[in-house]
Amino acid sequence: MKVSRQDHYTDTIRGGVLRDTPQRRHVYDLLRDEHSHPTATEVFLRAKKGMPSISLATVYNTLETLVACGLVKQVHVDREPTRFCPNLEEHGHFVCEHCSRVFDIDLAAERSQQWSLPAGFTITHHEISLRGICADCAKSEIQNPKSEIR
């Protein structure tokens, strides 16, 4: 529902000193509508369709702002380009080594704090990333197998 999305964006953006600019709204809406975990460059390319004048620097700035606001999350896969994710729920990511798609993985809430840390350590953030083969690719592998995965 569009209303609550706009509200969350508006509340968060307007709550601070930040301005609700066309660029920010455009990038945010774009991210909310896609669940493909785009990179900054991909966001830039998609953003240009509806706003041809937007610059890559603005996309980087905007994404940084949205992350700082907590409106989107960064996803890191090895040292590949950072991806951005509008899913604010507790979750990890699965990257298919064959098609490179990134999938959200639900993390059972009860497991999230069960790390056996040494005494005195405090967690502020965690990132779980899994690699492997997704169901689609596993299926097509069976039909036309190729050994050169990766």
Partner DNA sequence: GATTGATCAAGAATAATTCTAAATCGAGAA
Partner DNA sequence: TTCTCGATTTAGAATTATTCTTGATCAATC
Query: Which stretches of the chain bind DNA, using CB under 7 A?
Result: 17-24, 39-41, 53-58, 60-62, 64-65, 79, 81-82
Question: How many residues make up the chain in this entry?
Answer: 150
Alpha carbon distance 56, 93 (integer Å): 26
**146 contacts a second copy (rule: CB under 8 A):** no
Least gap, CB of 77 to DNA (angstroms)? 10
51 near 22, Cβ under 8 Å? yes
Task: Please report whether residue 45 would count as binding a second copy according to CB under 8 A.
Answer: no
Task: Give, as ranges, the residues between 63 and 122 that touch a second copy (CB under 8 A).
Answer: 74, 76, 78-79, 82, 92, 94, 97, 103, 105-108, 111, 114-122
Residues 6+ apart with CB under 8 A from 82: 39, 40, 74, 75, 76
Residue 70's closest CA among 54, 85, 91?
A: 85
Q: In the complex, what is the shortest distance from the CB of residue 18 to a second copy, in angstroms, rounded to a whole number? A: 19
Q: How far is the CB of 111 from DNA (least distance, A)?
A: 28
Q: Give the residue with the Cβ less far from DNA, 131 or 139.
A: 131
CA distance 94 to 139: 17
Cα–Cα distances in angstroms (integers) from residue 98 to residues 103, 111, 125, 139, 149, in the given order: 13, 28, 28, 12, 6
Smallest separation, CB 83 to a second copy (Å): 11
21 binds, among a second copy, DNA, none (CB under 5 to 8 A by kind): DNA
